[in-house]
Amino acid sequence: MINPFEDTIERLEELTVHCGNEHVRFSKQDLDLLSKPRRTLVVNFPVKMSDGSLKIINGYRVQYNDARGPTKGGIRFHPDVDLDEVKALALWMALKTAVLDLPFGGAKGGITINPKEMNQEDIESISRAFMRQIHHFVGASKDIPAPDVYTNAQVMAWMLDEYEKIKGRKEPGMITGKPIELGGSAGRDIATSLGGAYVLKEIAREYKLSDSPSVAIQGFGNAGMNMAKILKDWGYKIIAVSDSKGGVYSEEGLDVDNLINVKSSTGSVTNIEAKKITNSEILELVVDVLVPAALGGQITSENAENIKAKVVIELANGPVTREADKILHKNNIVVAPDILANAGGVTVSYFEWVQNNSDETWEKDVIFTKLEKKMIQAFQRVHELAVNIGSDHRTAAYILAINRIIDAEKKGVSQ
């Protein structure tokens, strides 16, 4: 099992070969600033469950870098959450907000539970208890949480309510991805997918994909499902999708609306009538576009040579490992890295934060117009840098982000 944090730090170390290039404004010593998180909080706390038992919950909040502003990042509930994963995710968030030129640093949080085995009452109890543990460390001008894997607007609502009870004041800007009724933003539910789709549209134009590109999507949760809906409406052909129970494939194209209905009613896309494939097989299909939208570490040195897609859009965090990246680049596969491709979520979270802090409400079309502009500008800057230094897009995105973070560090923006 590849350690995601160590893998990312090794990516940073590999960037030193570019130091001295006219497009690189940091030194090896500067990179050392990003080798460790600014602050790390580990909590272990008891929660009384609905069956009367007492359960000890493990939780984490990592604030990686705040040179460019208050830290920003989601909270995930997953049985495999550990400190190294949260550190890696927090570092990626710092890079992601810098790539999109948002006035945020990067953070991440996680709780080591399996919410699929819990009822809503227990999830609410854990959510509120976690906020009681971390409330001193978060806030609208300090660190702003958001939803992530297996958390949603309802979880954010519970955490916001608990925070405001503790503080004795209203502060909707302390958390994003919350319900519209509590100050959430229109469009936040599809923002990650739509941002990735805008990046794909630019790549399709730049690399001259066919008029109706074929697409395989690994992961049919919120991000993967919405990506399928958006791309179907844009004329793309969705030929394969998968979830945690397996996948389905049709060379002629799948009925996306039916997929969504079956997923909603039965819990898995595998219950439609179509050829069954595994989560490993879906990665190796002959398609124009592959969208890993599940968990990290899916494309590794062991299967990278088998990837046949022309373009990989990373809606998940860290789905391609460092060694796999090199193989994909060698094979001329264009990878839109996670810190660019899935940055639509944090970008609309930024819009939500601005709306909360200025007591404004923006219409959905305004938000989507602003999101498209942000995503296109970010892609164009990353692509231009990749061309100028002869690198893949991830290397260019990392350099662009680190340039901005180090510039902020040197100008004394850090609090």
DSSP-derived letter for residue 272 is: S
Nearest to 64 by CA among 298, 401, 411: 401
Give Cα separations from 273 to 214, 254, 255, 267, 293 (angstroms): 20, 10, 11, 15, 22
Provide CB contacts within 8 A for 302, sequence distance 6+: none
Distance CA 326, CA 211 (A): 29
Distance CA 315, CA 233 (A): 18
Please list the alpha-helical segments (H only) found in 100-190. 120-134, 153-167
Judge whether 108 counts as a catalytic residue.
yes
Q: Are 155 and 147 in contact (CB under 8 A)?
A: yes
Beta bridge partners of residue 58, listed in sequence order: 44
* Catalytic choice (72, 87, 96, 108): 108
Amino acid occupying residue 37: P
Tell me the chain's radius of gyration from C-alpha atoms: 20
Provide CB contacts within 8 A for 288, sequence distance 6+: 209, 210, 213, 214, 215, 309, 310, 311
3-state secondary structure of 44: strand
The catalytic residues are 108
